Amino acid sequence: MGATKSSASPELFPGGVRTEPRKTGILPSQEIHELIRNRKIIAIPEIEDSQIQPASIDLRLGNVAYRVQASFLPSRASSTSSKIQDLKLAEIDLTRPALLERGAVFVIPVQESLALPYDIGGAANPKSTTGRLDIFTRLVTEGGINSDPEDLQFEQVPKGYKGPLYVEVVSRTFPIILSAGAKLTQLRFVRGKPPAAHDNELERLEQTDRLVYYENGDAPAKAVLSGGLRMSIDLRGSGPSSVVAYKAKRHCPAVDLSKAGAHDAALYWDAITSTKRLVLDPGDFYILASKERISIPANWAAEMTQFDPASGEFSAHYAGFFDPGFGYGTSGEIKGTKAVLEVRAHEVPILLEDAQVVGRLLYHKMAAIPDKLYGQAIGSSYQQQGLALSKQFRVANAAR
């Protein structure tokens, strides 16, 4: 199936009359439902209501995974489907649970496809559980001769895109067991091209809706803003024996993604207790928590970015999207929630110190307030988390 960008201006609501212009920004859950009803998002089997999050849709894996020689971007020279055939090493049947070994590259068609209006595009990111398992995923569009070269990027869906979607999957720490229908990545839709909020806009927002809370009075009284909300690492925790980090063990059994609480965390993770500093070993994977408890008001969403991507020494939080209502609730009754950070050093050992800044949180305006918020009966697992592993693990006698 080829993919094209629409040159026409199809209506989102065929046969209907718009009474007011649609606002730019990230589309809320009710507009995602409208895209589904109007066949702008298409899927077999039909999309389940549980897939719709406040500002995104969970994409489901299809029935086959293709193990390929290498990762690749879509291009004008050849479509993603043709590249799969050129690079294919094996086909894995996902209609029943299948083992994907660590370190191998798989490309998996998803059950959803798109026929977007001319003014709506999309951006994807791994789900929180995916990131906490160190499963590296990237959304890929079809590509092909009709594609604009600027649109051929991982995790990006160009405006007006029509075609199938694929997810590249690399499990970097654990072997994993999954099957068709598993949800590893989420896609949000954006109308127009609104920029992230500037610091002065966040300062005004902070006056009406507090953006950050801290555990103790030694920390700043309000958000520290510099190109977004600064995020730092908590290595002190709540006491000398509290767990402040987890380091993944090597050579572990497979993790079955369909089984919540079925895996003993002690077989997969070493717990690290309160400390002033932590040396990250190259190639190892760590779970840490932010010093800040962040709050995302109902008409905003947020995305975590690297504090200094030019350094290239370590990466933090690649499952970095926060839905409206995260750490906020419906009207600010939740006083912030810690961000759990997936951290990996690259080439050399890296020293992290308590309260070291590792990222920025960029706030993005919603096109409208979602009709359901994070934590409101949508199966949200991490609304009032502390330091938390993915939901597949059970932890005994550890701070959560």
What pLDDT was estimated at residue 292?
92
Domains 4-191 and 199-394 share a fold: yes
Mean pLDDT over each residue of the chain, to the nearest integer: 87
Per the model's pLDDT, the better-predicted residue between 100 and 74 turns out to be 100
Closest of 65, 23, 129, 109 to residue 391, by C-alpha: 129
pLDDT, one tens digit per residue, over 351-371 is 999 999 888 999 999 999 999
What pLDDT was estimated at residue 73?
81
φ, ψ (nearest 5 deg) of residue 376: -90, 85
What pLDDT was estimated at residue 150?
62
Instruction: DSSP letter for 48, please.
Output: P
Name the β-bridge partners of 84.
none
Q: What is the C-alpha separation between 187 and 234, in angstroms, rounded?
A: 30
For 210-218, what is the mean pLDDT?
Answer: 76
Closest of 109, 120, 101 to residue 41, by C-alpha: 120
Q: What is the DSSP string of 165-228?
A: EEEEEEESSS-EEE-TT-EEEEEEEEES-PPPPPHHHHHHHHHHS--EE-SSTTS-SS--BSSS
The pLDDT of residue 9 is above 80 = no
> What sign has the CA pseudo-torsion 79, 85, 87, 92?
positive
Provide CB contacts within 8 A for 154, sequence distance 6+.
Answer: 73, 138, 139, 140, 168
The pLDDT of residue 112 is above 80 = yes
The CA-based angle 167-33-197, given to 5 degrees, is 75
For 251-271, what is the mean pLDDT?
Answer: 96
CATH class of the region 4-191: mainly beta
What pLDDT was estimated at residue 146?
57
pLDDT, one tens digit per residue, over 268-296 is 999 999 999 999 999 899 999 999 999 99
Does pTM surpass 0.85? yes
Helices (H), the chain: 29-37, 80-87, 128-132, 199-208
Give yes or no for a contact between 228 and 360, defined as CB atoms under 8 angstroms apart: yes
The pLDDT of residue 136 is above 50 = yes
Provide CATH code, domain 199-394: 2.70.40.10
The CA-based angle 137-393-326, given to 5 degrees, is 65
Question: Which residue do the tokens 């020494």 mark?
Answer: 313
Percent of the chain at pLDDT exceeding 70: 84
First vs last C-alpha separation in the chain: 46
What pLDDT was estimated at residue 36?
98
Q: What is the C-alpha separation between 103 and 53, in angstroms, rounded?
A: 30
Instruction: DSSP letter for 61, please.
Output: B
Where are the domains positioned within the chain? 4-191, 199-394
Q: What is the C-alpha separation between 303 and 231, in angstroms, rounded?
A: 12
The pLDDT of residue 6 is above 70 = no
